[in-house]
Chain A
C-alpha cells in the first residue's frame, strides 16, 4: 500500500488551486458546490488510492469530472455570460485577466475544460485527456479550437 500523507496536506497545498480551476471551468456561482463535491469524492476514494505520486493531478482530474457533471446537470446550457458581465467588477486591476476568463467561460464545455486545464492547472495533454475522458489527440484538438476561438473573441 502507498504511504498516503494526511489528507489535510492535500487541502493545504491544493485547495486554492482547485477552487481557481473550478471557477474557470464552471464560474464563480457553481464553483463552491463543485469544490465540495470534488473534495468529498477525493476523501471517499483516498484510502484506497494506490499511488501517492501526483496527488495534485489526481485532485484536478476529480475537479474536472465534477465540472463536467455540473455542466451535464445543466443540460449543457451556455453560461449566462451577459448576466455575469452586468455585475460589478470587484477587481479594478485591468491586467487581472477577468476578460479572458469570461471569454473562456463562454466556450463550449470541452474547449473550456481543455483551456482551463492547460493554462490554469498547467496539465500536460495526456492528463487533460484523462480528465476529459478522451484521447490526447482529441484533447489537443479541443485546446486548439478553444484557443482559436479565444483569439478571435479577444481580437
Chain B
C-alpha cells in the first residue's frame, strides 16, 4: 500500500469513528506466545483471539454477530496493546480496560464476570466458578465459560483449574496456560 493510500485510509478511519460508523475496530498485537488479535466496539474490548485462532474466521464471526462494519484501526486499540505488553513483561497485575460483554449471556456472562474477578497469581476451580456464577452443579458449563471465553488473558480463564489440581484445558494450549500461571507466580 502506498503512503498516500495509507494517509487516505487513516483519514477514513478517523472520520468513520467520528461518525459512529466504526462498530468493530481491530488490531494485531505481538505477544510471547505469538500474534494476538484484539477487537473492540465503542463500549470496550469485545474479543481477543489467541495465536492459534484463525484471524479471518474470527473477523467473519464478529461481522456476523456484532456488525459487518469491521475495520482495522490500530489507533483505537493502543491502550489495550500497552496493557497487554506490560502484563507479559510482568509489570502489570490487572487490566484497566473497558470490556464489552455483549458476546456473553446468562450463566456464561456471570461465570466470565466471576473469572474477571480472580486476582492475579491466584487460581480457582471450575466448581468454584460454577458456584460464583450461581449454579454449583453447572461445572461443565463453567468449563465452557472458560474454553469459549471471547476475551482470554484480560478475562483470565487461565486462572481456572481442575479441582484435583490438574491444569485442565486451555484454548491457547495447556503449555500457554502453564506459562501464564508461572509468569503470575513470578517464576
B69's partner among A3, A15, A36, A43 (CB-CB below 8 A) is: A43
A8 pairs with B12, CB closer than 8 A: no
Q: Does A60 contact B (CB under 8 A)?
A: no
Contact across chains for A40 and B64 when beta carbons are under 8 A apart? no
The closest CB in chain A to the CB of B58 belongs to A6
Partner of A40, one of B5, B12, B24, B70: B12
Among B12, B15, B59, the residue within 8 A (CB) of A6 is B59
B54 beta carbon closer than 8 Å to chain A: no
Does B71 interact with chain A (Cβ within 8 Å)? Answer: yes
Shortest distance between the CB of B114 and any CB in chain A (Å): 31
Could you tell me how many residues of chain A have their Cβ less than 8 Å away from some Cβ of chain B? 19
Counting CB contacts under 8 A, is A16 at the interface?
A: yes
Residue-wise, chain B 45-74 has the 8 Å CB interface mask toward A (1 for contact) of 000000000000001101110011111100
B70 touches which one: A6, A32, A35, A39 (CB < 8 A)? Answer: A6
* A5 interface residue per 8 A CB criterion: yes
Nearest B residue to A6 by beta-carbon distance? Answer: B70
Q: Which residues of A contact B92 (CB under 8 A)?
A: none
**A46 proximal to B (CB < 8 A):** yes
A46 and B69 contacting across the interface, CB-CB below 8 Å: yes
- How many interface residues does chain B have, given as a range? 20 to 34
| A83 to B11 Cα, complex, angstroms | 27
* B183 interfacial by beta-carbon distance below 8 Å: no
**Given contacts A16-B5, A43-B16, A46-B69, are A4 and B11 in contact (CB under 8 A)?**
no
Which residues of A (1-52) have their CB < 8 Å from a CB of B?
3-8, 11, 15-16, 19, 32, 35-36, 39-40, 43-44, 46-47
Are A15 and B15 touching (Cβ within 8 A)?
A: no
Q: CA of A3 to CA of B65 in the docked complex: distance in angstroms?
A: 10
Among A3, A15, A47, the residue within 8 A (CB) of B9 is: A15
- Residues of B at the A interface (CB closer than 8 Å) are 1, 5, 8-9, 11-12, 15-16, 19, 21, 24, 26, 59-60, 62-64, 67-72
For the complex with contacts A3-B60, A7-B68, A7-B70, 12 further pairs of A-B residues with Cβ separation under 8 Å are A6-B68, A8-B70, A11-B12, A11-B71, A16-B1, A19-B8, A36-B8, A36-B15, A39-B12, A39-B16, A40-B21, A43-B16
Query: Which A residues contact B (CB, under 8 angstroms)?
Result: 3-8, 11, 15-16, 19, 32, 35-36, 39-40, 43-44, 46-47
